Chains A and B, each alone.
Chain A
Amino acid sequence: MNFDMSPYGAYIWPAYGVSVLALGGITLWSWLRWQWAKAKLAALEKKT
């Protein structure tokens, strides 16, 4: 694998960086919300 991006590194790395942040962020957020919803429903079911 070749990580030498010259002379375009200033464009390539931000493009990958923003993609990783956005897609990683929405993946993490969706997964956390799913876990919270599961936990909340389980607690409510236990109560009733």
Chain B
Amino acid sequence: MNWLFRYANPHEFMRLSGAVLPFTAIATALCIGLSLYLGFSAPPDYQQGRTVLILYIHVPAATCAMTVYGAIAVCSLLSLVWRHPLSDTAARAAAPLGAIFTALGLITGALWGKPMWGTYWVWDARLTSFLLLLFIYFGYMALWNAIEDETKAARAAAILALVGAVNIPIIKFSVEWWSTLHQGESIVSGKLAPVFLAPLLLMMAGYMLLFITLWMVRIRTAILERRATVLMQRGTA
């Protein structure tokens, strides 16, 4: 675990993230730009027509929503076990990003569902558990803001994040465990033609890189704000 503590040090994190940030930002723009070019140049799907374009933004948003939550759960575990303050900062910084990806997954899914399923929404296991994820994100962020003592808030939020992590495998396997309108996995099983797969994978990489970039920016901001608070307290003491 020594390597983790080395990079979980705020000073080391600032140095490392400062070096990595320009590259992740450029890679994000390249992946999303290339995906849009390939996606809008691809022919319509024989069943879905051009609504397949919605899947290029729906699937990456939904994947990121769950990945971000996984990252929050890991940070929360590290915080509860090793009490490292940067873990709390990282978990808190990721939450609004995860909530936005979740909301986008729900909205773009509804906009794809209407022309393909004939409805914006059904209370099936996948959609309902994904909506629950959005509420867990809201609850997590509200808990951080509701408790004034930051140490207590961090502990309560970490426990909530770990309890809420139960929902992630439920979302993932809901299409296998229950009969749902939402289709099953189609990337790993090779059901997608390469002409649709390439822009989808590029957009997934782009969204993930965007998350990593913004996550680093938000953690850096939190560290700077903490330093400013310490300086102000010293000034008034």
- Indicate, yes or no, whether A interacts with B: yes
Contacts of B231 on A, CB cut-off 8 Å? 41, 44-45, 48
Evaluate contact between B40 and A2: CB separation under 8 angstroms: yes
Contacts of B100 on A, CB cut-off 8 Å? 22-23, 26
Where chain B touches its partner, the secondary structure class is helix
Interface residues of chain A, those whose CB is within 8 Å of chain B, are 1-8, 11-12, 14-16, 18-19, 22-23, 26-27, 30-31, 33-34, 37-38, 40-41, 44-45, 47-48
Q: A5-B50, A22-B104, A23-B210 are in contact. Are A15 and B235 (CB under 8 A)?
A: no
Interface residues of chain B, those whose CB is within 8 Å of chain A, are 37, 40-41, 49-51, 53-54, 57-58, 61, 96-97, 100, 103-104, 107-108, 111-112, 114-115, 210, 214, 217-218, 220-221, 224-225, 227-228, 231-232, 234-235
Question: A2: shortest Cβ distance to chain B, in Å?
Answer: 6
Question: B93: shortest Cβ distance to chain A, in Å?
Answer: 9
> Could you give 10 example pairs across A and B, Cβ below 8 Å?
A3-B40, A11-B51, A11-B114, A15-B107, A22-B104, A27-B210, A34-B220, A40-B224, A40-B225, A48-B231
Question: B29: shortest Cβ distance to chain A, in Å?
Answer: 11
Contacting residue for B40 out of A1, A27, A31, CB 8 A: A1
Contacts of A2 on B, CB cut-off 8 Å? 40-41
Instruction: Report the separation of the CA atoms of residues A30 and B61 in the bound assembly, to the nearest whole angstrom.
Output: 18
Q: A18-B107, A23-B210, A34-B221 are in contact. Are A44 and B232 (CB under 8 A)?
A: yes
**Who on chain B is nearest to A43 by CB?**
B228
Q: A22-B103, A33-B221 are in contact. Are A11 and B112 (CB under 8 A)?
A: yes
Question: B234: shortest Cβ distance to chain A, in Å?
Answer: 7
Contacts of B111 on A, CB cut-off 8 Å? 11-12, 14-15
Contacts of A40 on B, CB cut-off 8 Å? 224-225, 228
Instruction: Report the separation of the CA atoms of residues A30 and B25 in the bound assembly, to the nearest whole angstrom.
Output: 13
Contacting residue for B224 out of A7, A16, A38, A48, CB 8 A: A38
Question: A25: shortest Cβ distance to chain B, in Å?
Answer: 8
Question: B167: shortest Cβ distance to chain A, in Å?
Answer: 22
Evaluate contact between A26 and B57: CB separation under 8 angstroms: no
Question: B64: shortest Cβ distance to chain A, in Å?
Answer: 10
**Who on chain B is nearest to A27 by CB?**
B214
Instruction: Report the separation of the CA atoms of residues A27 and B217 in the bound assembly, to the nearest whole angstrom.
Output: 9
Question: A6: shortest Cβ distance to chain B, in Å?
Answer: 8
Question: A10: shortest Cβ distance to chain B, in Å?
Answer: 9
Instruction: Report the separation of the CA atoms of residues A40 and B223 in the bound assembly, to the nearest whole angstrom.
Output: 12
Contacting residue for B221 out of A8, A23, A37, A47, CB 8 A: A37
